[in-house]
Amino acid sequence: MVHLYRKRLLIYVFLLFTFLVYLSFFIDHKKESESSFRFQLSRPDSHPFENSCNFPILEDEDSSLKKSIKHFDEPPSCPLLYPNQVVNRSLYGSFYISSSTVSFPFHCSVQILSGTLYPNVRSMNVSEPIELPLNKSFILNEDVFLITCKSEAKKEGSSELIFSRVYMGVKQSSVNNLIVEVNGSSKSSEVPSRPFNIHSMSISILVFDSTSRSQFARHMKKSRKIMNEMGFVTLMGYNKVGDNSAPNLSPILAEPFKENEEYDVLDETGDIGLNKFLPYRKKIDPDAIEFIWKKMKKKGCETLFNDDIMHTSRGLFHYTNRHFIPGFSYKPTDHYYRPFYNHFYKMLNNKWKLCWDGRILSEELLVPWFLSLRQFADRCFFSFNFLTSPSHDNPNNLESVDEILNQRLRILKNSGSLSNTLLIVMGDHGQRMHYSQKTFGGRIEERQPMMSILLPREFKVHHPTAYDHLLSNVHRLTSNVDIHETLLDIIDNRMGKNRPEGRGISLFTPIPTSRSCFDAWIPKNFCLCQYNATEEDKSNYHHSLSAFLSPLRDLLLSYPCLNVDTLHCNVNYSLHHSHKSVRTGMRDKRNWTAKMAERISPKGFFTETSCTIRSLRNLPLSLLVRSRVDSNGHSHSIPFPPMIINADGDCGTIKNLDTFCTCEGAYDLHSKIESALD
């Protein structure tokens, strides 16, 4: 009996080891073969191909964008403006001024910058200088300040400027002193944190201007990796609702403007009216906008607004002066950073640079976002951070931020700072200014901004149904108005309650597969739901089954549970592409009728066909496959894995191949164990 028990145990251990090797091979092989921006976090019974809206999914580097994509071989080398870097600042915000850096005596002082409010948005208040200590670590308890160092005067009036830099910090209102001495470099990985409580959950939003989901994937690879490890949920069907920043961010950050009320929902073409998002020539007063951070403030939360204006005449709710009264007349939030940007861009003559004084500029712009997540981890806060300059004009420059963001996310992951914070990393829209936006892929990317959400770990424990809905909605058609409703669920404590009707649908509730762009408040010229190609559109297209099968077989080989030799695909197919207004890059609907009458040759298509294949357990699967193909039909790629339409066996309800193979491996192991024990 003992011998039989040992034999069975050895068989079980061997089979378990075999299964683990199988899983290891599966995971490693997936990593090697994966080229598209596929996130692990979604429900296995959900897939983007089941929507009535056939929105396109691109590879990270679409073939039409190849000539415009450039990667950094190594981090940019940033020359020093001041050779004597006497002032050093740690990642965690503390300063150290070393007297041994130079051979001559010097002194440093700090001045607080404030102001830049309407009607004098370009004017700053500068405080009297205050002497700073040498050879001691300290924190400056202010939001915006200027440090200046000068050599000691050998004779009156002969002192020389040796260092000057404007900084951002996060002021602690509970601390009265400006200069706070600290031990060491304040490099503590421990931060004050608090247990999960949805009633006091914080919200932190980090926006990269002109950044699509695919663009983020190809230029922010390190950041994407840590975001996957942390559990970020990224929306595959997220579609912008407006042209530039303000009409895309205001539906997220604010209630509908009062100035919208006089406009009908529909415009003269019968479509969603753009004036419902941002009325033209209405001179909206930013002070009067019902921002969601005002609700957070009423709850007793600290608020922060960090807007990289890129030019002293601009600002998210300043530009253009046809839309807004240019500026807030009072600080819109507790922490307001326009004085920093006004000083900085004035110094740069309103011309952005990748580097400034020995560092990548984006590193400084992320300071309020990073420090607020650490310093306010023990209290409720709202933080909005909009980085315009790195990616506004050139999508490739986003890559300069990758290591900076990656490093900070890893610190946040390991510190416990996010135990009660909803963190969003997103784009307002895709690239609009760079020549790449005129390509097939560029037109699509412009309308598919990055949208990635991280919830506290305890959220899924306390609200499992809401979290399940979020995972399902990864593959649904979503837009800016849905993010607004999702944030209101947190701010107004609406979880599990009846919600008032809004423009969008909260991601914590089911979003139907039947949803249209009209339902999601997406105007037609921004809507990516694809149409069947006309006979005229596909006159130069010649379908090659072998050209289609080659990349499909390569993809399916990365799934070890499938027998690729049994693959068979239908010779019939359908051909799809975006609306003409999307393909021409239409930003508004002026001369709509005339433009719609123009002949526009397609630059590419997406095909759809059905295939069958068998698993290694000889179970049949029916697949729906979509490929990205050039306009003549010569070159296919498979940007996203096929959807399982039907499968026999215990894993039949699963729609994505990753989970199906994991399920198949588990049942295969189970059957082998049963056979061995019989």
CATH of the domain at 206: 3.40.720.10
CA distance 484 to 63: 34
**Is 381 inside any structural domain?**
yes
Find out whether the peptide bond into 653 is cis, omega within 30 degrees of 0. Answer: no
Q: Beta strand pairing status for 106-115 and 562-569?
A: unpaired
Question: Among 33-37, 210-214, 471-475, where is mean pLDDT lowest?
Answer: 33-37
Out of 462, 491, 520, a domain closes at 491
The arithmetic mean of pLDDT across residues 45-65, rounded, is 97
Range of the domain at 615: 2-33+530-677
Q: Report pLDDT for 51.
A: 98
* 622 and 653 assigned to the same domain: yes
Reading the block at residue 541, the tokens are: 């297209």
- Are residues 609 and 540 located together in one domain of the fold? yes
pLDDT 10s digits, 191-218: 777 899 999 999 999 999 999 999 999 9
pLDDT at 8: 55
Same domain, 279 and 368: yes
Mean of the pLDDT values across residues 423-447? 96
**497 lies in a domain?**
no
**Does residue 216 share a domain with residue 105?**
no
Averaged over 112-117, what is the pLDDT? 98
> Mean pLDDT throughout 345-349?
95
Residue 44 has pLDDT above 60, yes or no: yes
**Which pLDDT belongs to residue 61?**
97
- Per-residue pLDDT band for 222 (boundaries 50, 70, 90) equals very high
Residue 281: what pLDDT? 79
Separation in Å, CA 363 to CA 352, 406, 451, 504, 658: 14, 12, 21, 34, 37
Residues 548 and 640 in one domain: yes
Mean pLDDT, range 421-425, rounded to an integer: 99
Q: What is the mean pLDDT of residues 168-178?
A: 96
**Residue from 477, 478, 587 nearest 525 by CA:** 587
pLDDT in tens, 529-576: 999 999 999 989 999 999 999 999 999 999 999 999 999 999 999 999
- Over residues 474-490, the pLDDT tens digits come to 999 999 999 999 999 99
Residue 111 domain-assigned?
yes
| Confidence band of 18 (pLDDT split at 50, 70, 90) | very low
Averaged pLDDT, 159-186: 91
Interatomic CA distance for residues 423 and 387, integer angstroms: 16
Q: Report the pLDDT value the prediction gives residue 68, as an integer from 0 to 100.
A: 96
Which segment of 80-89, 148-157, 258-267 scores lowest on mean pLDDT?
148-157
Task: Tell me what pLDDT residue 673 has.
Answer: 52
Do residues 172 and 216 both lie within one domain?
no
Do 357 and 457 lie in one domain? The reply is yes
The predicted pLDDT at position 25 comes to: 44
The pLDDT tens digits of the residues spanning 503-515 come to 999 999 999 999 9
- For the stretch 593-602, pLDDT in tens is 898 988 888 8
User: Do 555 and 612 reside in the same domain of the chain?
Assistant: yes
Q: Considering the chain, what is the average pLDDT of its residues?
A: 91
Instruction: Give the end of a domain, one of 471, 491, 511.
Output: 491
| pLDDT for the residue numbered 7 | 52
The answer to whether residue 42 sits within a structural domain is no
- Domain count within the chain: 3
Q: How far apart are CA 589 and CA 581, in angstroms?
A: 9
**Is 422 contained in some domain?**
yes
| Domain shared by 25 and 133, yes or no | no
User: Looking at the structure, do residues 160 and 290 belong to the same domain, yes or no?
Assistant: no
Task: Give the whole-number percent of the chain exceeding pLDDT 70.
Answer: 90
Residue 299 binned pLDDT confidence (cut-offs 50, 70, 90): very high
Confidence at 655, pLDDT banded by 50, 70, 90: very high
Confidence of residue 189 (pLDDT cuts 50, 70, 90): low
Q: Are 144 and 112 in contact (CB under 8 A)?
A: yes
- Prediction pTM value: 0.93
- Please list, residue by residue across 446-466, b when 16 or more beta carbons sit within 10 angstroms of its beta carbon and e when fewer do: bbbbbbbbbbbeebbeebeeb
Residue 47, domain member (yes or no): no
Q: Is residue 521 part of a domain?
A: no
- Angle, helix 480-491 to helix 245-253, in steps of 10 degrees: 30
Average pLDDT of the residues in 609-638: 97
Higher pLDDT, 260 or 216: 216
Residue 37's pLDDT band (cuts 50, 70, 90): very low
Residue 291: what pLDDT? 98
DSSP state of 212: B
The CA distance from 677 to 214, in Å, is 49
In percent, the amount of the chain with pLDDT more than 90 equals 80
123 plus 206 within the same structural domain: no
CA distances 661 to 29, 396, 410, 454, 675, Å, are: 13, 36, 31, 27, 21
User: What pLDDT is stored for residue 280 in this prediction?
Assistant: 80
- Cα–Cα distances (Å) from 272 to 25, 123, 580, in that order, read 49, 39, 17
Same structural domain for residues 429 and 487?
yes
Please indicate whether residue 38 or residue 273 has the higher confidence score (pLDDT): 273
Tell me if 212 is assigned to some domain: yes
Asked if the model's pLDDT at residue 496 lies above 90, the reply is no
